[in-house]
Every structure is written in structure tokens, then in C-alpha cells.
Amino acid sequence: MSWLTALARPEIVNLKSYEHAAWEPGLERLHANELPWRALGDNSDAGLNRYPEPQPRELLERLANLYDVATNALLVGRGSDEMIDLLVRVFCRAGKDSIVVCPPTFGMYAVSARIQGAEVLAVPLRAAQDFSLDEAGLLDRCTPAVKLIFLCSPNNPTSNLLSEEAILRIAARLEKRALIIVDEAYIEFATAASLARHIPQFPQLVILRTLSKAHGLAGARCGALIANPQIVALLRKVIPPYAIPQSTVEAALRLLQPPQLAVMRDRIDTVRAERTRLIGALRALPNTVRVWPSATNFILAEFHDADQALSRARAARLLIRDVRAQPALGRALRISVGTPEQNDRLLDALQ
Ligand SMILES: *Cc1c(COP(=O)(O)O)cnc(C)c1O
């Protein structure tokens, strides 16, 4: 894939990565300047006195199994946020290259790009057409300086799935010219399948997944990137050598067992049922103008008086998200689906 090495920053293509201490769990470790005793109160499986395995084999295997991809198509890190940052650092030269985002959307794409000094081009979703992709507008903006196109499906904060056909058409048009990154942080709450199955035909496609949302592990910081193995190899050059804390590895491994996964699926069913109930009840409130359908674990709602809704929620000790600064969302708030009790309390407060 010579187009890929042409797309990436030459410094990264030529970078000789840091050589971490050899990972040979069969031998005793006198090669990494660790202390040979555990810290007091350390009841982890492996011992926190030891550096963690760089890309933990067992975790990779379990995630590969969960996402139905090959282990060499997977990179694990501290949440999808780290994956977004790695992509921008590997592909965007400061002052020269650009990314495309489709607002209203997740803010980290633009923040990571700006930190790197890459330009952010915005091609808004079509608010009047259910926040669908503006395919023609997007392709128009894709000059050779555009290296990455960030699409979020289902999108945060509008909660809709983007059209798979549209994403694949964009990918086809930008073949060998840019990477199409599809952030699927909320896909477990939708009924659609992951786009990861298209990577063999579309090596310019990169998928982001996370354990932060449906799996309930936001505090552990664990996310994955799924891509062609050559893209994974490039990103591996840049990820810090001991990116994933051992406590995170162990928490994720416990969670990725069949009984825990069954609990996760039950909870997704509960979230979906509560989502339907909340949407119905919110639509019946006098203060709502519009409540959008949701393919996620949150609901976007437009209010006549959003300030009043925010303060009433707060008085009931509930925080909801003000998204009014985003394009086309002048009166909108974003509400995460809570427990049935929390949802009742919110509805009571907003009555
Ligand atoms: C919450 C969220 C993430 C998750 O980020 P992590 O770093 O994995 O916790 C990624 N993308 C979107 C759109 C999100 O809303």
C-alpha cells in the first residue's frame, strides 16, 4: 500500500520506534528497572510493580473475537480519544494538512487536529434532512491537503446513524487519497452492523470502538481501532510503549467473559426500552419543540426554554448536556439515558 506511506507524515514512516523491554513472561524480569516486590495493597493479577504488556495479547484476542476481526487489524489504547490523537499525529503535518468533520459532532476530532496544528474543515450534516451526510459538499472540500475524514455513526450528539451506502461511496471516491474514520462509539445501542466488515474491500476505512459506553468501562480508558494491518503498524510506531495500564487490562479481560457480556446485552435492552419511554414522555412535555429519534444511549431534544429545562434538571440533582453552541442546535440539550429512577426524576422535574 504505497499510497499509505505517501499519505502518512514522512517523519513517522521513517521513525525508528522506541524499543520496549522484551516481553517474555516465562522468565524473571531483571531488565526493566522495576522493583521486585509488589506495592502494599496491590492485589492485581500480574503485579503493578511490573510494566504492562505493550499490546496485551489476551486482550487483543478477546477484542478481535468481540468485533469479529483479525488481531493484526486491531490496536488497543486508552479510549478512542487516544486513537483519534494517534491518527492525527501520524497523518497530519502541522500547517499543511487538514481533517474534515461533520458538525454537529463529537468535539475531540477538531481538538486533536488543532493541537497538532492541522486545519479543521467543517462540512455540516444536513439539519433539515435528519442530520444526514452532505456527500457532495464533503467531496467538494476534499483537496489533497485533506488526510482524514471523521464520521461518527451513530453520531454524537444527534444520535442518528449515517448512511452506510453514503460512507462507502465517499470511501470509494477518496480511494488512496484520505482515510475515512468511522467512530462507532455507540453502535452497540443501534441495530446496524459495524462497518468493520468492509475493511478488506476498503483499506482506507478505519473504525473506532470503545469499552466506555455500552460496556460501562469509561473509567478504565480502553478503546480500539480497527483498520488494515499496515495502518495499525504505522500507528503502533507512535503509541506510547506501555499505553494500557495493567489495571485496565485486567478490568477489560474480566468484562469480556461470556457471563459479563450477557449482562451487558441485558443492560443494552434496558437502555433501549428506557430510551423509547423517555422519548415518548419528553415529546409529551409542553416545553419540548422536538425530540429526535435515537440510535444511542442518549436523546437530543429541542426545547422552547432550554435554560429552564437545565435549571429544573439541576434542581433535581441531574446534569444534562447543553449542546446549544453546536451548529443547528440553538435550543437543544442532550440527555443520557439513566436508570429508570433517574429518568422518572428527570421527567418529573421537566413537567
Ligand atoms: C464517548 C465517545 C467516545 C469514547 O471515547 P473514549 O475515549 O473511548 O472513552 C468516542 N467517540 C464518541 C463520538 C463519543 O461520544
Instruction: Please enumerate in sequence order all residues whose Cβ is within 8 A of that of 195, keeping only pairs 6 or more positions apart, or say none.
Output: 153, 164, 167, 168, 182, 184, 205, 207
- The angle at the Cα of 68, spanning 64 to 73, to the nearest 5 degrees, equals 55
Q: Are 349 and 315 in contact (CB under 8 A)?
A: yes
Cα diameter, the chain: 68
For ligand 1, atom 4, which residue shows the shortest CA distance?
A: 80
Q: Compute the distance between CA of residue 339 and CA of residue 275 in angstroms, rounded to an integer.
A: 10
Residue 200's pLDDT is what? 97
Q: How far is the CA of 24 from the centre of ligand 1 (A)?
A: 33
Q: How far is the CA of 185 from the centre of ligand 1 (A)?
A: 6
Q: How far is the CA of 340 from the centre of ligand 1 (A)?
A: 24
Q: For every one of its 351 residues, what pLDDT tens digit does the chain have, with 9 covering 90 and above?
A: 899 999 999 999 999 988 888 899 899 999 999 999 999 999 999 999 999 999 999 999 999 999 999 999 999 999 999 999 999 999 999 999 999 999 999 999 999 999 999 999 999 999 999 999 999 999 999 999 999 999 999 999 999 999 999 999 999 999 999 999 999 999 999 999 999 999 999 999 999 999 999 999 999 999 999 999 999 999 999 999 999 999 999 999 999 999 999 999 999 999 999 999 999 999 999 999 999 999 999 999 999 999 999 999 999 999 999 999 999 999 999 999 999 999 999 999 999
Q: How far is the CA of 186 from the centre of ligand 1 (A)?
A: 8
Q: Read off the amino acid at residue 340.
A: P
Residue 61's pLDDT is what? 98
C-alpha cell at 128: 433539515
For ligand 1, atom 5, which residue shows the shortest CA distance?
A: 80
Identify the three-state secondary structure at position 270.
Answer: helix
CA gyration radius, the chain: 22
- Kindly give the interhelix angle for 229-236 and 79-91, rounded to the nearest 10 degrees: 90
For ligand 1, atom 12, which residue shows the shortest CA distance?
A: 185
Q: How far is the CA of 93 from the centre of ligand 1 (A)?
A: 24
Cell numbers 473504525: residue: 207
Q: How far is the CA of 74 from the centre of ligand 1 (A)?
A: 17
Q: Are 182 and 195 in contact (CB under 8 A)?
A: yes
Closest ligand 1 atom to residue 213 Cα is: 1
Closest ligand 1 atom to residue 155 Cα is: 13
Closest ligand 1 atom to residue 211 Cα is: 8
Q: Are 125 and 132 in contact (CB under 8 A)?
A: yes
Identify the three-state secondary structure at position 88.
Answer: helix
Q: How far is the CA of 210 from the centre of ligand 1 (A)?
A: 7
Q: Are 248 and 256 in contact (CB under 8 A)?
A: no
Query: No. of H helices and E strands in the chain?
Result: 12, 11
Distances (CA, A) of 180 to 1, 226, 301, 309: 16, 12, 29, 37
Asked if residue 53 has its Cβ within 6 Å of ligand 1, the reply is no
Asked if residue 302 has its Cβ within 6 Å of ligand 1, the reply is no
Asked if residue 85 has its Cβ within 6 Å of ligand 1, the reply is no
Closest ligand 1 atom to residue 152 Cα is: 13
Asked if residue 248 has its Cβ within 6 Å of ligand 1, the reply is no
Probe target for ligand 1 pocket from 75, 76, 81, 222, with the most ligand atoms within 8 Å of CB: 81
Other C-beta atoms closer than 10 Å to the C-beta of 49 total 15
Closest ligand 1 atom to residue 83 Cα is: 7
- Kindly give the interhelix angle for 57-67 and 246-255, rounded to the nearest 10 degrees: 40
- The angle at the Cα of 337, spanning 331 to 339, to the nearest 5 degrees, equals 140
Q: Compute the distance between CA of residue 168 and CA of residue 164 in angstroms, rounded to an integer.
A: 6
Q: Are 94 and 117 in contact (CB under 8 A)?
A: yes
Q: Compute the distance between CA of residue 106 and CA of residue 72 in angstroms, rounded to an integer.
A: 27
Q: Compute the distance between CA of residue 60 and CA of residue 44 in angstroms, rounded to an integer.
A: 19
For 70-95, b/e burial (b = at least 16 CB within 10 A) is ebebbbbbbbbbbbbbbbbbbbbbee
Cell numbers 486491531: residue: 74
Q: How far is the CA of 122 from the centre of ligand 1 (A)?
A: 19
> Which helix H or strand E contains 268, and what residues bound it?
helix 258-283
Q: What are phi and psi of 334, to 5 degrees?
A: -115, 130
Asked if residue 313 has its Cβ within 6 Å of ligand 1, the reply is no
Cell numbers 452492523: residue: 193
Residue 1's pLDDT is what? 82
Residue 150's pLDDT is what? 98
Q: Read off the amino acid at residue 159.
A: S
This prediction has a pTM of 0.97
Asked if residue 294 has its Cβ within 6 Å of ligand 1, the reply is no
